[in-house]
């Protein structure tokens, strides 16, 4: 998206810009699919506003990186950083295209909104009313995550975004909160914030098999693309070629899913009353595939042996949601238990995105070492490496569970 804001060069911290771009890109993915799920023009408009912000960040990052390259060695070191910057911008553009499906009423079958709740943790937009019990209180005082399971992921205040609200952040009357969590917790937080009841979207079902397959393939593409983005940032944070190769495999699988999606959508078009209503599905699939491509671009420097530039590593460590890697110690709380047994997500707020196990395959094949998108039934043993994403406080709680120092 092209905006009317003038952007001129000014000295900025590349680390801070990269951290904000990462946080913004990840928030945009959440918001764009939530806009589709809720059919919400308001959330879709928030996506477009953030996309404009990302355009400015993108230009400032490129200017700063160009100023920093003074010789071939600098260019070689900074090339992967430019790739990370460009990839975040692509994710932003893709999220904007998803939002336009809602704003421009391009059309989505009801089955899409029936299936997405399984893939999207409930996200709501709520404005703090003057008489709200939350007004003029800090997030630490409210302790929402512990009490309700809901996390405030962003705040818009007087037109400015706060993407990294901390425990010391005070909520004010008129703040627009973006909150994510389980539906019952969301209902409680929404009511306390706005004084109104929360109404979840009505479920719908489709009885056309090909359409159901097309919708399911988009949901799977979304999940795999989000995982690819998480793993891509993990690959550059840990400078891990193994993790980067998992991103490459995920991107190839998303491409294959898109091909199957196209076939199922074309078959379904002959069975629905209004084939034009499927246009939104096509837009969603195309944008989701772009996100997976962007994930591959993020990890490309690691794949090509260029390593991770220190400024990118510092930016990821400074970002809103951190990615951590914890090795499970013998006799720790996690050793010999499942993620569900120990209620890892509930107790820590961290989302485990992958588990790497010590290689036991006689050929030492890479594919046997990783479990991607582990669920509550996933068993964890001593020596396993858990890669998870969440808040810094949650990371500390996960470290305690894993028995880390």
pLDDT digits (tens, 9 = 90+) for 167-198: 789 999 999 888 887 778 889 999 999 989 88
- Three-state secondary structure of the chain: CCCCCCCCCCCCCHHHHHHHHHHHHHHHHHHHHHHHHHCCHHHHHHHHHHHHHHHHHHHHHHHHHHHHCCCHHHHHHHHHHHHHHHHHHHHHHHHHHHHHHHHCCCCCCHHHHHHHHHCCCCEEEEECCCCCCCCCCEHHHHCHHHHHCCEEEEEEECCEEECCCCCCCECCCCCEEEEECCHHHHHHHHHHHHCCCCCCCCCCCCCCHHHHHHHHHHHHHHHHHHHHHHHHHHHHHHCCHHHHHHHHHHHHHHHHHHHHHHHHHHHHHCCCCCHHHHHHHHHHHHHHHHHHHHHHHHHHHHHCCCCCCHHHHHHHHHCCCEEEEEECCCCCCCCCEECCCCCHHHHHCCEEEEEECCCCCCCCCHHHCEEECCCCCCEECCCCEEEEEECHHHHHHHHHHHCCC
| 321 φ, ψ (degrees, to nearest 5) | -95, 120
Residue 90 sits in the same domain as residue 131 = no
Res 171: pLDDT: 94
Residue 4 lies in a domain: no
Higher pLDDT: 359 or 301? It is 301
Say if residue 215 is in the same domain as residue 112: yes
For the chain, the residue count is 405
- Measured CA to CA in angstroms, residue 402 lies from 313, 317, 331, 360, 382 at distances of 23, 20, 9, 21, 9
Domain containing residue 243: CATH number: 1.20.58.220
Of 289, 315, 341, the residue at which a domain comes to its end is 315
Mean pLDDT (the chain, rounded) = 81
Q: Is residue 346 part of a domain?
A: yes
Q: Which residue has the higher pLDDT, 104 or 270?
A: 104
- 8 Å CB contact between 46 and 125: yes
Residue 237: band (very low, low, confident or very high) from pLDDT cuts 50, 70, 90:
confident
Asked if residue 261 and residue 112 are part of one domain, the reply reads: yes
Residues 208 and 293 reside in one and the same domain:
yes
5 falls within a domain: no
Based on the structure, what is the number of domains in the chain? 3
152 and 185 part of one domain:
yes
In a domain, 398, yes or no: yes
214 lies in the same domain as 305: yes
Residues 164 and 266 in one domain: no
Q: Is the dihedral of CA 231, 125, 117, 186 positive or negative?
A: positive
Of the pLDDT bands very low, low, confident and very high (cuts 50, 70, 90), residue 365 is very low
Does residue 214 form part of some domain?
A: yes
80 and 235 in contact (C-beta within 8 Å)?
no
Please check whether residues 61 and 106 belong to one and the same domain. yes
Domain assignment of residue 3, yes or no: no
Q: Are residues 80 and 219 in the same domain?
A: yes
The string of pLDDT tens digits covering residues 47-75 is: 998 999 899 899 888 888 888 777 788 77
Asked if residue 136 and residue 95 are part of one domain, the reply reads no
7 falls within a domain:
no
Q: 290 pLDDT band (50/70/90 cuts)?
A: very high
pLDDT at 289: 92
Asked whether residue 353 falls in the same domain as residue 395, the answer is: yes
CATH number of the structural domain spanning residue 189: 3.30.70.1450
pLDDT attached to residue 367: 42
Q: How far apart are CA 297 and CA 14, in angstroms?
A: 19
> Kindly report the CA angle at 154 between 226 and 295, in degrees rounded to 5?
20
Instruction: Classify strands 176-180 and 151-157 as parallel, antiparallel or unpaired.
Output: antiparallel
Q: Which domain holds residue 190?
A: 123-194
1 part of a folded domain: no
109 and 216 inside one domain: yes
Given 295, 315, 335, the domain boundary residue is 315
Residue that finishes a domain, picked among 315, 333, 362:
315
């Amino acid at each position: 998206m092209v905006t009317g804001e003038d952007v001129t060069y000014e000295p900025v911290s590349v680390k801070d810009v990269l951290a904000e771009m990462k946080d913004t890109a990840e928030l945009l993915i959440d918001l764009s699919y939530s806009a589709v799920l809720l059919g919400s023009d308001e959330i879709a408009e928030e996506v477009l506003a953030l996309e404009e912000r990302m355009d400015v960040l993108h230009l400032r990052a490129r200017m700063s990186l160009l100023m920093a390259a003074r010789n071939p060695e600098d260019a070689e070191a900074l090339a992967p950083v430019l790739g990370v910057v460009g990839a975040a911008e692509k994710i932003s553009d893709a999220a904007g295209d998803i939002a336009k499906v809602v704003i421009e009423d391009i059309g989505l079958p009801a089955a899409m909104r029936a299936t997405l709740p399984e893939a999207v943790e409930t996200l709501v937009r709520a404005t703090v009313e003057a008489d709200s019990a939350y007004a003029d209180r800090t997030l630490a005082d409210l302790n929402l995550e512990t009490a309700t399971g809901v996390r405030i992921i962003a705040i818009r205040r007087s037109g400015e975004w706060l993407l990294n609200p901390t425990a010391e952040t005070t909520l004010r009357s008129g703040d627009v909160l973006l909150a994510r969590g389980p539906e019952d917790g969301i209902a409680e937080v929404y009511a306390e914030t706005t004084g109104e009841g929360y109404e979840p979207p009505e479920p719908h079902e489709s009885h056309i098999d090909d359409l159901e397959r097309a919708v399911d393939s988009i949901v799977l593409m979304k999940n795999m693309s989000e995982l690819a983005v998480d793993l891509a940032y993990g690959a550059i944070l840990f400078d891990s070629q193994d993790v980067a190769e998992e991103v490459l495999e995920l991107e190839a699988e998303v491409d294959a899913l898109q091909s199957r999606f196209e076939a199922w959508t074309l078959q379904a078009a002959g069975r629905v009353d209004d084939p034009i209503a499927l246009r939104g599905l096509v837009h969603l699939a195309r944008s989701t595939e772009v996100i997976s491509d962007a994930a591959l671009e993020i990890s490309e420097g690691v794949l090509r042996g260029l390593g991770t530039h220190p400024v990118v590593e510092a930016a990821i460590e400074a970002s809103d949601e951190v990615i951590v890697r914890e090795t499970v110690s013998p006799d720790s709380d996690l050793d010999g238990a499942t993620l569900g047994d120990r209620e890892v997500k509930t107790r820590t707020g961290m989302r485990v995105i992958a588990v790497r196990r010590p290689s036991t395959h006689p050929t030492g094949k890479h594919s046997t070492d990783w479990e991607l998108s582990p669920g509550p039934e996933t068993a964890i043993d001593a020596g396993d490496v858990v890669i998870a994403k969440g808040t810094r406080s949650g990371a500390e709680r996960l470290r305690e569970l894993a028995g880390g120092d």
